[in-house]
Amino acid sequence: GLTSRHLAYVIYTSGSTGTPKGARNEHRAIVNRLMWMQNAYGLKDSDVVLQKTPFGFDVSAWEFFWTLLEGATLVLAPPGAHRDPAALVDLIISQRITTVHFVPSMLVNFMDAKSVESCRSLRRVLCSGEALPAASVHRVRRLLPWTGLHNLYGPTEAAIDVTAWSCPDGFDGAIVPIGRPIANTRIYLLDGHGAPVPFGAVGELY
C-alpha cells in the first residue's frame, strides 16, 4: 500500500522559526529533487562524490541517494574531515573526487587551504545552507576554473533545495543569486497579507 505520498525521511531542524521541529518529506519530493539534480548536473558512473555531510542534515540525502541511483562512486569522509580543509584537499586529490558540497563558510576555509589548486579532478562544487559571498565565487573561478560552481537554496521542509543558480565563467557581480525554481516547484514572493508583490518590490519567499 505504499505510495509516493508516504514519508521518505524526517529531519529535525530549527529552520526559519528558531523552534525545533521535525521536517517530514515524502518520497515524491525527494525523488523529484534527485531527478532534477541528475537532469541539471548529469552525474556519470565514472564520477566520485564525497559524502561528508552529517546524516542529520538534508544535504546528506542527495550525497548518497543521487550517487547510488546513478551508479557513481561514493567516498565517505573520515569523521571530522568535513571541518578540516587540508584533509579535504588530500582526500579530493587521493580519491579523485569530482563532486562535493560546501556550506559557503566552509568553502571560504577550503579555498584558503594549501594546494587547493591541485584539486584538478573537481568538476562540481555545490553550495547551500548559507548566503554565498561573491568573493568566494571569484576565488573559485580564479583557482579552480575547470570546476562548475552551483548555488542552491531551500528549506529542509521542501526536500533539500527549491532554487538553483550556476555561476557563469565571467561572473563579476557583487551579489550571488539564488537562482530559479527547480523542476515542478513554484516560488512566490508575498507581502504581509499573503498576496503577491509586484515586480521589483520586497516580499517574503514562499
For the chain, domain boundaries: 26-205
Average pLDDT, the chain: 94
Asked if residue 4 has pLDDT above 90, the reply is yes
Question: For cell 566552509, what's the residue?
Answer: 106
pLDDT of residue 15: 64
CATH of 26-205, one of 3.40.1440.10, 1.10.540.10, 3.40.50.12780, 3.40.47.10: 3.40.50.12780
| CA 52/CA 83 separation, integer angstroms | 9
| CA 107/CA 195 separation, integer angstroms | 37
| CA 92/CA 152 separation, integer angstroms | 22
Asked if residue 20 has pLDDT above 90, the reply is no
Asked if residue 130 has pLDDT above 90, the reply is yes
Is the entire prediction scored with pTM above 0.75?
yes
Asked if residue 132 has pLDDT above 90, the reply is yes
| Contact status, residue 74 vs residue 51, Cβ threshold 8 Å | yes
Average pLDDT over residues 10-39: 90
